[in-house]
Chain A
Amino acid sequence: MNTKKDFIHPYIPNSVPANKDAMMKKIGITDIDQLYEDIPEHLRFREKMKIPKAILSEVLLKKHVEKILAKNKSCEDQLSFLGGGCVNNYVPAICDEITGRSEFLTAYAGEPYEDHGRFQTLFEYESMMAELLDFDVVNVPTYDWGQAVSTSVRMAGRITGCNEMLISDTISSDRFKVIHNYCHPLMKLTLVKHHLESGMMDLDDLSSKLNSNIAGIYFENPSYLGFIEEQGQEIADRVHAFGGEVVVGADPSSLGVLTPPSQYGADICCGDIQSLGNHMYFGGSVAGFISSRDEEKYVMEYPSRLFGVTRNEKEGEWNFNDVAYSRTSFDGREKGKEFIGTAAALYGISTAVYLSLMGPDGMVDLGKKLVSYANYTARRLAELKGVRLRFTASMFKEFVIDFSETGKSVAEINQVLLEKGIFGGKDLSVEFPELLNCALFCVTDNHTKDDLDTLIDAIREVIS
């Protein structure tokens, strides 16, 4: 390492002494430390931070980090059947090409002039999601599905003036905890039971919990446990009868083949776009969407950025800008709707590219493929001795397998699968005590029939 006086780092051009000297001269100082003279001595940290020595060369830095990452086994090293809100769907090459562009990667908060492209791309993201969802308003992405539900619930609370929200009890506990923290203590969340056989919502339990103080309901379709909720319209009708808002969480990758929730009574639809052109990153590259009808009642309750379009006929130009900016906390601090800041825009850009590539037929083909693979795999597995499909309702891409009668726990089965190069289904034993020895399996468009057969054969071996 250089001595302190000439510590020159490639990321810090003015660490060069000549630059420093010229600038200090302009300021009228002789030592940079003079610039800290307003910080009282008792607040100064005079020790050295115990952080490892700089790895100054790029090549050694890269080797160092890659050596640590090499300890991981990825879903390229292994065959994975994990889902549950994060999936190993194929990411088209052009998605990575565009999101890797310097301009998009490093832009932030430019005006709608020098950042015209950022505004247009995110407007197109909103617009294509709107076609999938059959709704006229979609936000610029928020953090994740958990945040999207949380905000949807709070929107329902503000719209109705009520503070109790019903939530289907088949939601993932992970997501539920996020919503609970966000809503506590202003809104109460009450779980609605499901039918143990079909998985679908227990409508009697729903009705027993409905009253005019309910802000609304949140349920998912397809559900976290994979099955398709067939009673969407019935649920919506019952909730609407009490003046509640209907919020539905949807897997956007299902909407090439499944009816969007807006067509069976949803007032707000939300979910995650990770499956549409984004990698997994240990669950770290998720992003949430919120959508609704284009009514002031809804639009004015979004905390998110909403980019709108207008036409400059004189110049022949499309223009984009923030719609109803005064809603936001940027404008009104605590008087704004919830809060807004940096969230997950780049993932929205990747999804814009993804949906442009897929088009209507691509989304239909994707949906069909996932439904086919899930049904094929589930059927084959259920033919094995002691293995059964847990829910009777139809499925989209995920399904729950009950291993109880094999005499083996999911943990035991997954350990052997791991050694065979397979990440088995997610163990649901802890999350849902009634699903002891059950696992949630997920198929993707990254799989082939060979992959599915590999899993089926491996499980056959493990349990016999």
Chain B
Amino acid sequence: MEIKKDSRLRNFHQAKWDEEIIFELSIPGERGILVPEVEPEIQNELGEVADLLPKHLVRKNKPALPEVSQMRVLKHFLRLSQETLGADLNIDIGQGTCTLKYNPKVNETIVRSHKASKLHPDQAESTVQGTLQIIYEMDGYFREISGLDAFSFQPSSGSHAILVMASIMQKYHEVRDEADQRDELITTIFSHPSDAAAAAVKGYKIITVFPDKDGFPAIEELKRVVSNRTAGLFITNPEDVGMFNPRIDEFTKIVHEAGGICGYDQANANGILGITRAREAGFDMCFFNLHKTFATPHGCGGPAGAALGVTNEMKPYLPVPTVAFDGTNYRLDWGNEYSIGKSRVFYGAFPVILRAYAWIRSLGAEGLKEVARIAVLNNNYMLANIIEIDGATSPYPGGKRRIEQVRYSWDKLYQETGVGTHDISLRMCDFGFHLWSSHHPFIVPEPFTIEPTESYSKAELDEFLDGLRHIAEEARLDPETVKSAPHRSVVHKMDESCMDDPKRWAITWRAYLKKHKGR
């Protein structure tokens, strides 16, 4: 279908290099970089290196890495970068729940300083006072943002923070000799999958509460499932559907009365900064993803980082060390009495923490609140437009408003045309967009989740809307074009079947050569 004249859609084509696999570029003898030679005095003194090693542990065949000259390596990975649609180039609002926002470039400049990158974790504390100060000050900011009393920056991601919350909760019950009895963790189906999965790693039986007809987690169901076996509750708010649960304090009250601990999954807090907090909702713990709300780049899937907060009562359980300040010097404090120990080697993802620090300082309290307000404005603007698209709906009538995201459905379109979320996602590539389905399971049929954050202008939101409108119309007029997409992306529609077939899947080049080329 032709792009309409008044549409903001682009006549886009993504870079398509048909770039080889790096091994196919290998030419024996080529070198990408040289290691400085060992000085002759040392060579003469020591003799053959192989003689310094146990004979049977000297590697016999060199690793069969590709041999490629420097510029060709550069070109290879530059081309692969062009075959990747980063948030910097995209109107990246189609990956709801993940808060793809602007990651300021000045933070990248700051983080490249050798005063950050060339620090070893075992340096004397006197030589890392700047780093410790930043971690200490971040603790203070997050106390304000959450209302809780102490933070650790050791969790490596949101899912990892959930694991740490589960560890703290377990230790808390162990100290009270109730850990064996309290073996159930309650979560909700519209909380992140890791709220269930990471808690299960600690041995918890997972009880999942489903939504009521309005789309809120069913409070009657919660009342039914709490008991003296309840270790705690891990819950997101707003949940994936984007509605604020107005009875959240009743949830924590019910769980507390049963003797459980409450962990607030604030991985994505982008719509509520300075608006509502874990403290007032009655939580014992909470966490924030620095790579979501706090604007650190997602890096193709990490590095990530989380700020994990607790009340004073839970502080003795935090991972060690935390950072303390005596008015003059900052130091690592290993003193938490019931600490779960460690969740990550060393002290946390410092490059992520540093970027988040710079972002918070660039906004201040007022700016953080403006971030939330505009993120919510943008979201409700998208909502008002998307529900006007024939075929798109926003299930659940519960809240009058949505906070930072909305889970929509293409089910009506799918029923009427046979074109569903997956098809539309692939067609969106043709216009330079990314559209994700949603977390499994698909309680909402043919789901998609839009989270526009504060980073995109009205004009950009309108462009993305034109993409959705165009494809929804195309599904009716020319469904084959949608179903056979993408047409202007890096590659064409693939046969995914081998990815689930142990005989054919190939997770490495050498496995591919063995399975498909008989080598």
Contact = CB atoms under 8 A, between A and B. Distances in A.
A108 B301 contact: yes
B103 A13 contact: no
Contacts of A88: 118, 120
B14 A146 contact: no
A26 B385 contact: yes
B215 to A, nearest CB: 12
A313 B472 CA distance: 31
Interface string B97-116: 01010111010111011111
Contacts of A154: 201
B10 interface: no
Interface string A361-386: 11111111101110110000000000
B343 to A, nearest CB: 6
Given A76-B118, A113-B489, A414-B124, A55 B22 contact: no
A415 B343 CA distance: 30
Contact of A120 (B80, B351, B357, B376): B80
Contacts of A48: 274, 365-366
B366 A107 contact: no
A9 B70 CA distance: 42
A307 B511 CA distance: 12
The residue among B64, B80, B89, B383 with the most chain A CB atoms within 10 A of its own CB is B80
Interface stretch (A189-197, A256-264, A401-409): A256-264
B366 to A, nearest CB: 6
A412 interface: no
A114 B489 contact: yes
A99 B147 CA distance: 36
A38 B244 contact: yes
B300 A318 contact: no
B440 A331 contact: yes
A4 B373 CA distance: 12
Nearest to B35: A365
Given A38-B399, A299-B507, A376-B42, A54 B363 contact: yes
B201 A108 contact: no
B325 interface: no
A366 B367 CA distance: 49
Contact of A62 (B106, B117, B403): B106
A258 B199 CA distance: 39
Nearest to A330: B193
B194 to A, nearest CB: 5
A241 interface: no
A146 B77 contact: no
A283 B507 contact: no
A126 B512 CA distance: 12
Contacts of A55: 361-362, 364
B140 to A, nearest CB: 8
Contacts of B481: none
Contact of B89 (A73, A102, A332, A346): A102
Given A118-B300, A280-B119, A285-B303, A317 B491 contact: yes
Interface residues of B, number: 220
B378 interface: yes
B492 A339 contact: no
Contacts of A217: none
Nearest to A324: B500
Contact of B98 (A50, A85, A103, A109): A109
B9 interface: no
A43 B280 contact: yes
A82 B400 contact: no
Interface in B32-70: 32-39, 41-43, 45-46, 49-50, 52-54, 56-60, 62-68, 70
Interface stretch (B128-136, B217-225, B389-397): B128-136
A223 interface: no
Given A11-B455, A319-B491, A352 B77 contact: yes
Nearest to A284: B350
B506 A344 contact: no
Contact of B436 (A9, A73, A109, A361): A109
A64 B336 CA distance: 32
A264 B56 CA distance: 10
B401 A334 contact: no
Contacts of B103: 105-106
Contacts of B22: 124, 127-128, 352, 356
Contacts of B160: 143, 341
Contacts of B56: 230, 233, 259
A225 interface: no
11 contacts: A19-B457, A45-B274, A82-B120, A141-B302, A257-B53, A281-B119, A329-B198, A356-B66, A362-B32, A372-B46, A448-B39
Given A82-B122, A98-B78, A361-B31, 4 more contacts: A4-B366, A113-B491, A323-B505, A343-B157
